[in-house]
Amino acid sequence: MDLKGCFRLFSWTTGIQTVSAMVIPQVSLTMQCSHCVPDTECAEGTKHTEHKGENEKEKKSVICVEGNIASGKTTCLEFLSSATDIEICVEGNIASGKTTCLEFLSSATDIEVLMEPVSKWRNVHGHNPLGLMYRDACRWGLTLQTYVQLTMLGQHTSPQMSPVRLMERSIHSARYVFVENLYRSGKMPEVDYVILSEWFDWIVKNISISVDLIVYLRTTPETCHQRLKMRCREEEKVIPLEYLEAIHHLYEEWLVSGSLFPVAAPVLVIEADHSMEKMLQVFEQNRAQILAPENWKHGP
């Protein structure tokens, strides 16, 4: 008997989102809130528990797969574990259109969006490490990139609230593009570079920061420079064209040629030099390819 062919979908509500699971005939699944006491009944109407905590958002669910010997428990668990949430990172140079892309894709669907935590980088107890780095990269490069790595790790590991999560950039580009650029340009000493690299390598090996798809908004440095002038962000006024060219080159090495570092996920390259109106059309044309895993192609 093909057990996988017998799976059917059911779902329940935990108080935060709808959780889905697959059920096999002859195998019972019991769901219990981890903040509850046995033998009571939840408002959801399932044999749940009386909640210990008052914060409904902290409720979690536990699935117990029960059954006789050789009833298919292992097959069920393997199937369930494969149905994970999707995380998509939108990558690109400064002013490549990442925010526009994220806002457009999330406007008509139930998608969680995590923007770069730039507000944190601009205000650490009254200090602005982002602005300091742009003005004196040799002095403040390590300071900023240490905090960037920490805050991006926080983004990757935060509980996912929707089946699909879109992230602006990632901890991978922080290391492979921005830290690498500081080192190659001679603005980061080798000892700083080695420390950040070893920390990043440890994170990748010991913490789950998997990415399912990378969307690369490929934009020429000249276009990015023109867009920077138009949006007039204070920290970006001192960014020269040469800096954007260096960032572009590293993105190309990493995501297009695949010659720089390992690529964490399949890559979808979108040419993003167009006007705002045209880019919205391009995003719409690529919506299905971005959000449907079966359309993804592996490799840069």
With both helix axes pointing from N to C terminus, report the angle between 221-231 and 241-251 in degrees, rounded to the nearest 10: 130
Nearest 5°: CA angle at 236, between 233 and 237? 90
Instruction: Centre a 10 Å sphere on the Cβ of residue 260 and count the other Cβ atoms it contains.
Output: 18
Nearest 5°: CA angle at 223, between 153 and 280? 75
Q: How far is CA 233 from CA 55, 228, 264, 297, in A?
A: 39, 8, 31, 36
Cβ-based neighbours of 67, under 8 Å, separated by 6 or more: 24, 26, 27, 28, 73
Instruction: Centre a 10 Å sphere on the Cβ of residue 66 and count the other Cβ atoms it contains.
Output: 10
- Which residue bears the tokens 């030099």? 273
168 is known as an active-site residue: yes
The CA distance from 7 to 26, in Å, is 11
* Contact (CB, 8 A) for 110 and 166: no
Active-site hit among 168, 198, 222, 271: 168
* Pairing of β 86-92 and β 213-218: parallel
- Name the residues annotated as catalytic: 168
